[in-house]
Amino acid sequence: MSSEAAFGARPGSGRVERVKARLLAAICLCGALAGADAAARVFLTQTEALHLAFPDGVSVERKAAFLTAAQQDETKKLAHCPDPPDALVAYYVGTRDGKVVGTAYFDTHRVRTMPETIMVLVDPAGSVARVEVLSFQEPEDYLPLPAWYAQFPGRPLDDTLSLKRAIRPVAGATLTTNATTDAVRRVLALHRVLGAGTEGAK
Query: Does residue 85 sit in the same domain as residue 35?
Result: no
Ramachandran angles phi, psi of 53, nearest 5°: -70, -40
Q: How confident is the model at residue 105 (pLDDT cuts 50, 70, 90)?
A: very high
The full DSSP string for 56-124 is TT-EEEEEEEE--HHHHHHHHHHHT-SSPPPSEEEEEEEEETTEEEEEEEEEEEESSSSEEEEEEEE-T
**How confident is the model at residue 157, as a pLDDT?**
97
Query: Does residue 60 sit in the same domain as residue 31?
Result: no
Query: Does residue 86 sit in the same domain as residue 149?
Result: yes
Has residue 37 got a pLDDT over 60? no
129 within a domain of the structure (yes/no)? yes
Structural domains of the chain, count: 2
12 within a domain of the structure (yes/no)? yes
**How confident is the model at residue 197, as a pLDDT?**
61
26 within a domain of the structure (yes/no)? yes
201 within a domain of the structure (yes/no)? no
**How confident is the model at residue 196, as a pLDDT?**
75
Query: Does residue 12 sit in the same domain as residue 57?
Result: no
Q: How far is CA 191 from the centre of its chain?
A: 18
Is residue 194 within 8 A of residue 74, CB to CB? The reply is: no
Q: What's at 7, amino acid-wise?
A: F
Global confidence as pTM? 0.78
Query: Does residue 52 sit in the same domain as residue 35?
Result: no
Helix or strand (DSSP H, E) at 134? strand 128-136
Query: Does residue 52 sit in the same domain as residue 12?
Result: no
Full residue range of the structural domain in which residue 21 is found = 3-40
pLDDT digit string (tens) for 142-153?
Answer: 999 999 999 999
